[in-house]
Structure 1
Amino acid sequence: MNKIFFDNWESILRTLVITVLAYIALIAMLHTSGKRTLSKMNAFDFVITIALGSAFATVTLNKDVALADGALVFLLLIGLQYSITWLSVRYKPVKKLITSRPSLLLYKGEVLNDVLKKQRITIEEIYVAARKKGIGSLADIDAMILETAGEITVIANLTDDDSQTLQNVAKK
């Protein structure tokens, strides 16, 4: 119990040096991997982000984990994320495996209650999305979509029923 606030100066120095070096390594790898690694997240990207955070915490605070081991974990996680996303833009089965389809929540002013229940979206969230776009009535909205990363998109006016932007949207 006597080491609850301070262990020794060596421990403090190690934490300082390892944290700074691990941070630099992580930033360099993220910068190299491209914008997708830091983009709005679908479930796959979220898991990678959590794993990177956990690895960063482990390498900075666990004295049994060397910086090289932590940097290797960063490299592996970012490399796996890069590889999977590279494959997903080239092969539809991979894309279907790691990303969900957007869901139509409202169409031509009519709330699709079954979809709201399935997606666990409340009517209050629908109202918030409408207010954020400055729309006072749901009847004035042609489409409202729950995107793959979880945000709600509001389209006030569709020019036709077969709009390109609704092509891959799940309608049920």
Structure 2
Amino acid sequence: MPFPLPAQALFDGWSGVWRVLVIAPAAYAALVLILRASGKRTLSKLNAFDLVITIAIGSTLASIITSKSLALVEGLVALGLLVAMQYAVTAASVRFQSFNRLIKAEPALLLRDGRMLPRAMRRARITEGEIEAAARAAGAARSDELEAVFLETDGSLSAVRRA
């Protein structure tokens, strides 16, 4: 027997609906402006750090829209702070190589001179099929037509064809 839902769970009045209709576009517009002001790097391909920030930004935006206890200004300050922290970390990673190595993974070599490197593939959890797909994406029929395949820091595979 299903549990009956209280009427309040389905509809709690128009004030909440109106709040979402006003707050969501305002928060979205502010987020777009914050992201545009922070530069293209904020919206670049994702490495692990960028993924964490992206999830945190999405979670904060959702909280702004749905939480009655979080004021719009407080939420926008939180969004601005997240983007500012991401900007500071990426600026520091450009200026200081040691900091860059701390927050970003190095690309992993998975194939050299047409031969797959099984140990590296296991560590990276990459299959032969994924290497073959990278070969096809690079315009090679098979992986033995490649000089190298790398697992990049953003999780993509880059294939270098033999000269």
TM range (shorter): over 0.9
Give SS of 2:8's match: coil
Q: Deviations over 1:76-130 (max 9, x none)?
A: 0000000010010000111011111001110110100000001111111111111
Native 8 Å contact 2:138 2:160 kept in 1: no
Residue of 26, 32, 51 corresponding to 2:37: 32
Partner of 2:57 in structure 1? Answer: 52
Cross-structure match for 1:94: 99
- Stretches of structure 1 that go unaligned for 5 or more consecutive residues are 159-172
| TM-superposition CA deviations, 1:124-172 (whole Å, max 9, x none) | 11111112223112111001111000000010025xxxxxxxxxxxxxx
Residues 38 and 83 in structure 2, CA contact (< 8 A), matched pair in contact too:
yes
> What TM-score does the superposition give when structure 1 sets the normalisation length?
0.89
What percentage of aligned pairs have identical amino acids? 42
Question: What is the aligned partner in structure 2 of residue 104 from structure 1?
Answer: 109
Moved over 4 A (4+): none
SS of equivalent residue, structure 1 residue 37: helix
Is 1:156 the counterpart of 2:122 in the alignment?
no
2: CA distance, partners of 1:136 / 1:48: 38
The answer to whether structure 1 residue 76 and structure 2 residue 95 are counterparts is no
Picking from 131, 137, 149, the partner of 1:132 is 137
Determine the C-alpha separation between the residues in 2 that align with 1:86 and 1:133. 32
Matched residue type, 1:53: G
For the residue of structure 2 that corresponds to 1:144, the secondary structure is strand
Structure 1 residue 28: Cα displacement: 0.4
Q: Decide whether the 8 Å contact of 2:107 with 2:153 is kept in 1.
A: yes
SS in 2 for 1:153: strand
Unaligned runs of 5+ in 2: 1-5
Q: Name the count of aligned residue pairs.
A: 158
What do the CA deviations read for 1:42-70 (whole angstroms, capped 9, x no partner)?
Answer: 00000000000000001100100000110
Amino acid at match of 2:147: D
With normalisation by structure 2, the TM-score equals 0.94
User: Corresponding residue for 2:3?
Assistant: none
Measure, in 2, the Cα distance between the counterparts of 1:55 and 1:130.
39
